[in-house]
Chains A and B, each alone.
Chain A
């Protein structure tokens, strides 16, 4: 029985819809009407990405049954540009850099429209409240609020063309597509005849299972085409980041090792795969006791025979004699800290589609690392690399979580075997249960200084819960010991980090690779030592800060671009003013105590002691000027930044270029978007590519070094004279940052350059409730050179917001906080005013002096917040997140 069509007026046009009356409006818009600008991140009202206006009111389209929307007017992102206010709002978002990955943007725009239609010039408080129902994981909200409050200025004003020079605030190149809903994310593009794939995942953390005969299931659901299992994997049933560690099965073979591990996948017509219920599956479980404590795991039976003690990797750095140095110190500080799983919570769940094209496979999916995806897909299919094509979709947030494959291997296997296009989109719960997390940590650390406050020694022992599979565990265990003492001169160091297997979600890459956890311990020790010496906490850090010419604990001499002291100098006046203000407010008494905290960080850009090259290519020919850029822009802005760099190096304008982005058939390997490396590594490659093409042009034109280039359509003018182009001129740039692998004592040159930063946090603690209210964050970052200051600020804001989450609210508990209702990330009201101070101490190797910013922004935030809590209350927070009950317990403990 098919229902009669219902009518909706969408963006002013009546549309008839045939779908069951309980169908979510979001699904009607996306699947029924093809309006994929409306995004879905949770289907539960929690993320607000699906916000549309229904009869003028903002609603989560995922919660509205079609029957209730019928007859009503719906406004979606696709309808905004035609409305003067909508167009103004879009222009304001573009100008302010309010969209990064863009997945929350349609929801933000619609929520803002509802506000602006009633209040054209809202204040920040009104904007905050109006947008409180839409989550953004990228921006930290500040630029969104600015854009909304500022939208009225863009009414009827034609956009001013922006300069694309290095250092200019060029609006992001991918911005317009994200603001109109045109950008295609993983779930937005698949052929109409694609089959759907739905994984079957383990609800148990540890179990043996047997999958019986699926024939009755297939018979009962005629649209179900196939149940894929381990036996169906044509190549190697394993994937993993490291070439020699492919330990995570696509489909488990009889044993599951975490809740969310995949045992099989249903493939078929959408309705059929969605109709299958758990109890129909011929699955028999034998539930086994799980290992959930990494310390216990050290003495338990191995998860994987290859690692008998459950230790995946041990990383260490030893310089001098830390034990002796500590013993001889005038002051000592020590402590133990604990952090939990943190979920990436990108608003776009994993999604994509795959198709077999003859003897090749093509996968379109949301990813941070197309070339790594290519290797994994080739591996699981058992086909050569050149038989695989990866086309990255627009990426709705990654933060490290989309460096590991998700949908790609399964989709490839299904499309390969069934010879039909196959698509998938994880639900929020599935995304959270199955994807990687930030490593939980258990840290003990000791530090000492002399009577004047100069650091003498530092010892650090960290156990990192790496979960069920290796993923990026070795990277974390390698990076932490190098960074654990922070950006300070410490003569004697002994640091060790171990990544330990448990039956928990695999811990992978998450903005900072373990460094944010370590920084919490390190910075807390400095506060203790500063107090013991009687030094101001900022001055203690300034005294010990690394400077150009210093040698690090790995034996690396930092010759240049060490801007930490400059960061501290820039913060000093704010620090003093904020401290005075807090002290004044505290004299008023009451349960609310004010405090100010500070923390520093350093971050090595790129892989640790390993090659990580990038290649960029630019061509000029009959097709015009084309920039072939294989770096994936996950919202951080590489598409824009690399274009600014290549244009500057070539001497043409950014608008002269056509872009070919990230398709492994069309672009060279730029490496993954991680480790804050794209601006530094791919940026340098882009600079060289631009310079190489310029050389080729100048040679042909017989022109001098400083010749002026101009492009009109496909006609090139050199110093005003047209240069005839018969073939294609090309410039290729490649850069691999020079490093020296670390030896057994962690000695070597792990990174070619480092980002430095210091942040100050001002807050108040309600000492009766344990709640923390952030008031202001000032962030000073040495970025070498800000190629695009708006984008740099956007990274800082977003990193700080994630740091706030880590510090105050985020804790992933398998099976318990598996949605965005119970797993809390900051909302508009949780991110205070942020002041960014950009310090530019140029890096000689970087493009125009630039280094990275993606991860550095997050690292110091949580330690600065904990430092401020200590300043306000006297208590040291030893467990993150500092939930109200933990803060209160710490206060009670301290007063006992």
Chain B
């Protein structure tokens, strides 16, 4: 049996991590286990499950809160989808809350953490587009100190992140938008619940007097890492919010690189992204329409 440690403080966790080997036998960081346990089951079925020491982060005190720190909201590593779903948060979190509501079922929402979702770095991770659209940063701690990386820099590729072997992701920091902001999230899947996204889009729009000051849009499951759409965002700035949906064109999606897989074709993903973006923007212009 490999070692299993469940420290009660971050300092202790970081010390254990610093002392651990980094290559072979590096400990597996465990949060809610909703990615880790399924992966182990899949590996075990083909006799490929390799026991690894586990560093369980769930006992670390003080990580389970969403705090308003003035300029930011700080979402700790212990925060689950259920908390994001149920706690009152300002309107720019609507996208993240809608994503939380649609992750797995109640059981997965009760256990899975947002940070785990980011660190797992799946192209279809539903937490990523809402946070990219919010310009969120990931806070990483090690005995060497604490650093912050924009989420887009933290996610390096398909299941790859910038997390160093001695680091733990401790929080997501979400800067507050200027003035009023609305946000939304649309997820497309082939069934009602428990479904991995074929495509999902998230957006945060800051507007005044019906005109867009800043629109931030992100698309997931259409590239190894979810992406913002800077050309489209630039094109939308200054426009009436009511006209935004009609602005979206295929050319704005040129940076996406969707693939064919069992869930859909690349061509379909591109097309669906266009449709979802238009609907998202139309919905943000008339929020009551977004639900339909």
Residues of A within 8 A of B (CB): 1, 20-22, 24, 42-46, 48, 51, 57-60, 62-65, 67-68, 111, 114, 128-130, 132-135, 200-201, 203, 274, 276-278, 281, 427-430, 433, 768-771, 808-809, 811, 813, 816-819, 821-822, 824, 826-830, 883-885, 888-889
In the bound complex, do residue B105 and residue A769 qualify as a contact, i.e. CB atoms below 8 Å apart?
A: no
Distance in Å: Cβ of A615 to nearest Cβ of chain B: 40
B6 cross-chain contacts in A, Cβ below 8 A:
21, 67-68
In the bound complex, do residue B110 and residue A59 qualify as a contact, i.e. CB atoms below 8 Å apart?
A: yes
Distance in Å: Cβ of A617 to nearest Cβ of chain B: 42
**Measured between alpha carbons, how far is A818 from B38 in the docked complex, in Å?**
12
In the bound complex, do residue B111 and residue A278 qualify as a contact, i.e. CB atoms below 8 Å apart?
A: no
In the bound complex, do residue B4 and residue A821 qualify as a contact, i.e. CB atoms below 8 Å apart?
A: no
In the bound complex, do residue A44 and residue B42 qualify as a contact, i.e. CB atoms below 8 Å apart?
A: yes
In the bound complex, do residue A65 and residue B264 qualify as a contact, i.e. CB atoms below 8 Å apart?
A: no
**Measured between alpha carbons, how far is A614 from B265 in the docked complex, in Å?**
50
In the bound complex, do residue A429 and residue B46 qualify as a contact, i.e. CB atoms below 8 Å apart?
A: yes
Distance in Å: Cβ of A584 to nearest Cβ of chain B: 18
**Measured between alpha carbons, how far is A57 from B106 in the docked complex, in Å?**
9
Contact with A along B103-122 (1 / 0, CB 8 A): 01111101100000000000
In the bound complex, do residue B47 and residue A827 qualify as a contact, i.e. CB atoms below 8 Å apart?
A: no
**Measured between alpha carbons, how far is A21 from B37 in the docked complex, in Å?**
13
**Measured between alpha carbons, how far is A1 from B276 in the docked complex, in Å?**
55
B37 cross-chain contacts in A, Cβ below 8 A:
24, 43-45, 62-63
A883 cross-chain contacts in B, Cβ below 8 A:
190, 263-264
Distance in Å: Cβ of A146 to nearest Cβ of chain B: 18
A51 cross-chain contacts in B, Cβ below 8 A:
107
B272 at the interface (CB under 8 A from A): yes
What are 8 A-B pairs at a CB distance below 8 A? Answer: A63-B34, A65-B4, A65-B30, A111-B106, A430-B45, A827-B192, A829-B192, A884-B190
In the bound complex, do residue B272 and residue A769 qualify as a contact, i.e. CB atoms below 8 Å apart?
A: yes
Residues 62 to 120 of chain B near chain A (Cβ within 8 Å): 82, 104-108, 110-111
In the bound complex, do residue A134 and residue B188 qualify as a contact, i.e. CB atoms below 8 Å apart?
A: no
B107 cross-chain contacts in A, Cβ below 8 A:
45, 48, 51, 58-60, 63, 111, 133
In the bound complex, do residue A48 and residue B105 qualify as a contact, i.e. CB atoms below 8 Å apart?
A: yes
Distance in Å: Cβ of B122 to nearest Cβ of chain A: 11
**Measured between alpha carbons, how far is A63 from B33 in the docked complex, in Å?**
6
B155 at the interface (CB under 8 A from A): no
A133 cross-chain contacts in B, Cβ below 8 A:
104-108, 193-194
Contact with A along B246-278 (1 / 0, CB 8 A): 000000000000000011110110011001100
Instruction: Other than A63-B37, A130-B106, A827-B192, give 6 A-B pairs with Cβ distance below 8 A.
Output: A59-B107, A133-B106, A427-B41, A429-B46, A828-B193, A830-B191
**Measured between alpha carbons, how far is A59 from B82 in the docked complex, in Å?**
11
The contact of A44 among B30, B41, B110, by CB within 8 Å, is B41
In the bound complex, do residue B194 and residue A769 qualify as a contact, i.e. CB atoms below 8 Å apart?
A: no
> Assuming the A-B contacts A58-B110, A63-B32, A884-B198, are A46 and B38 also in contact, with contact meaning beta carbons closer than 8 angstroms in the complex?
yes
B56 at the interface (CB under 8 A from A): yes
The contact of B106 among A58, A135, A819, by CB within 8 Å, is A58
In the bound complex, do residue A826 and residue B268 qualify as a contact, i.e. CB atoms below 8 Å apart?
A: no
B144 at the interface (CB under 8 A from A): no
Residues of B within 8 A of A (CB): 1, 4, 6, 30, 32-34, 37-38, 41-42, 44-50, 54, 56, 58, 82, 104-108, 110-111, 188, 190-196, 198, 262-265, 267-268, 271-272, 275-276
B276 cross-chain contacts in A, Cβ below 8 A:
769
The contact of B105 among A134, A278, A281, A888, by CB within 8 Å, is A134
In the bound complex, do residue A817 and residue B262 qualify as a contact, i.e. CB atoms below 8 Å apart?
A: yes
Nearest chain A residue, comparing its CB with the CB of B278: A768
B104 cross-chain contacts in A, Cβ below 8 A:
45, 133
**Measured between alpha carbons, how far is A799 from B209 in the docked complex, in Å?**
54
The contact of B4 among A20, A129, A132, A203, by CB within 8 Å, is A20
The contact of A114 among B106, B188, B272, by CB within 8 Å, is B106
Nearest chain B residue, comparing its CB with the CB of A275: B51
**Measured between alpha carbons, how far is A111 from B265 in the docked complex, in Å?**
35
In the bound complex, do residue A829 and residue B191 qualify as a contact, i.e. CB atoms below 8 Å apart?
A: yes
B82 cross-chain contacts in A, Cβ below 8 A:
57
**Measured between alpha carbons, how far is A239 from B46 in the docked complex, in Å?**
24
Nearest chain B residue, comparing its CB with the CB of A816: B262
In the bound complex, do residue B41 and residue A42 qualify as a contact, i.e. CB atoms below 8 Å apart?
A: yes
**Measured between alpha carbons, how far is A21 from B107 in the docked complex, in Å?**
21
A21 cross-chain contacts in B, Cβ below 8 A:
4, 6, 54, 56
The contact of B47 among A65, A278, A428, by CB within 8 Å, is A278
Nearest chain A residue, comparing its CB with the CB of B268: A885
In the bound complex, do residue B46 and residue A278 qualify as a contact, i.e. CB atoms below 8 Å apart?
A: yes
In the bound complex, do residue B191 and residue A826 qualify as a contact, i.e. CB atoms below 8 Å apart?
A: yes
**Measured between alpha carbons, how far is A759 from B193 in the docked complex, in Å?**
25
**Measured between alpha carbons, how far is A821 from B271 in the docked complex, in Å?**
24
In the bound complex, do residue B56 and residue A809 qualify as a contact, i.e. CB atoms below 8 Å apart?
A: no
**Measured between alpha carbons, how far is A809 from B195 in the docked complex, in Å?**
11
B198 cross-chain contacts in A, Cβ below 8 A:
884
B264 cross-chain contacts in A, Cβ below 8 A:
883-885
**Measured between alpha carbons, how far is A544 from B193 in the docked complex, in Å?**
40
A819 cross-chain contacts in B, Cβ below 8 A:
38, 42
> Assuming the A-B contacts A20-B1, A45-B107, are A768 and B193 also in contact, with contact meaning beta carbons closer than 8 angstroms in the complex?
no
In the bound complex, do residue B262 and residue A809 qualify as a contact, i.e. CB atoms below 8 Å apart?
A: no
> Assuming the A-B contacts A59-B110, A816-B262, are A277 and B56 also in contact, with contact meaning beta carbons closer than 8 angstroms in the complex?
no
**Measured between alpha carbons, how far is A21 from B6 in the docked complex, in Å?**
9
In the bound complex, do residue B48 and residue A132 qualify as a contact, i.e. CB atoms below 8 Å apart?
A: no
Distance in Å: Cβ of B241 to nearest Cβ of chain A: 21
Distance in Å: Cβ of A397 to nearest Cβ of chain B: 18
Distance in Å: Cβ of A621 to nearest Cβ of chain B: 50
In the bound complex, do residue A64 and residue B111 qualify as a contact, i.e. CB atoms below 8 Å apart?
A: yes
The contact of A824 among B38, B41, B106, B190, by CB within 8 Å, is B190
In the bound complex, do residue B47 and residue A22 qualify as a contact, i.e. CB atoms below 8 Å apart?
A: no
Distance in Å: Cβ of B95 to nearest Cβ of chain A: 19
B34 cross-chain contacts in A, Cβ below 8 A:
45, 60, 63
A817 cross-chain contacts in B, Cβ below 8 A:
262
Nearest chain A residue, comparing its CB with the CB of B54: A22
B263 cross-chain contacts in A, Cβ below 8 A:
822, 883
> Assuming the A-B contacts A46-B38, A67-B4, are A769 and B193 also in contact, with contact meaning beta carbons closer than 8 angstroms in the complex?
no
What are the 9 tightest A-B residue pairs by CB atom distance, in nearest-first order? Answer: A133-B105, A829-B192, A132-B193, A429-B45, A885-B268, A44-B38, A278-B47, A43-B41, A827-B193
A48 cross-chain contacts in B, Cβ below 8 A:
105, 107
> Assuming the A-B contacts A60-B107, A132-B105, A133-B194, are A200 and B268 also in contact, with contact meaning beta carbons closer than 8 angstroms in the complex?
no
**Measured between alpha carbons, how far is A829 from B190 in the docked complex, in Å?**
11
Distance in Å: Cβ of A807 to nearest Cβ of chain B: 12
Nearest chain B residue, comparing its CB with the CB of A430: B45
Distance in Å: Cβ of B32 to nearest Cβ of chain A: 7
A132 cross-chain contacts in B, Cβ below 8 A:
105-106, 192-194
- Residue picked from B38, B58, B198, B272, most chain A C-beta under 10 Å: B38
In the bound complex, do residue A60 and residue B111 qualify as a contact, i.e. CB atoms below 8 Å apart?
A: yes
Nearest chain B residue, comparing its CB with the CB of A882: B190
Distance in Å: Cβ of B210 to nearest Cβ of chain A: 24
Distance in Å: Cβ of A435 to nearest Cβ of chain B: 13
Distance in Å: Cβ of A277 to nearest Cβ of chain B: 5
Distance in Å: Cβ of A39 to nearest Cβ of chain B: 14
Distance in Å: Cβ of A530 to nearest Cβ of chain B: 30
Distance in Å: Cβ of A384 to nearest Cβ of chain B: 36
**Measured between alpha carbons, how far is A822 from B195 in the docked complex, in Å?**
8
Distance in Å: Cβ of B36 to nearest Cβ of chain A: 8
In the bound complex, do residue B190 and residue A768 qualify as a contact, i.e. CB atoms below 8 Å apart?
A: no
In the bound complex, do residue B56 and residue A67 qualify as a contact, i.e. CB atoms below 8 Å apart?
A: yes
Nearest chain B residue, comparing its CB with the CB of A590: B292
Distance in Å: Cβ of A40 to nearest Cβ of chain B: 10
In the bound complex, do residue A885 and residue B50 qualify as a contact, i.e. CB atoms below 8 Å apart?
A: no
A46 cross-chain contacts in B, Cβ below 8 A:
38, 194
B271 cross-chain contacts in A, Cβ below 8 A:
888
**Measured between alpha carbons, how far is A63 from B264 in the docked complex, in Å?**
28
B56 cross-chain contacts in A, Cβ below 8 A:
21, 65, 67-68
A201 cross-chain contacts in B, Cβ below 8 A:
46
The contact of A889 among B58, B194, B268, by CB within 8 Å, is B268
Distance in Å: Cβ of B196 to nearest Cβ of chain A: 7
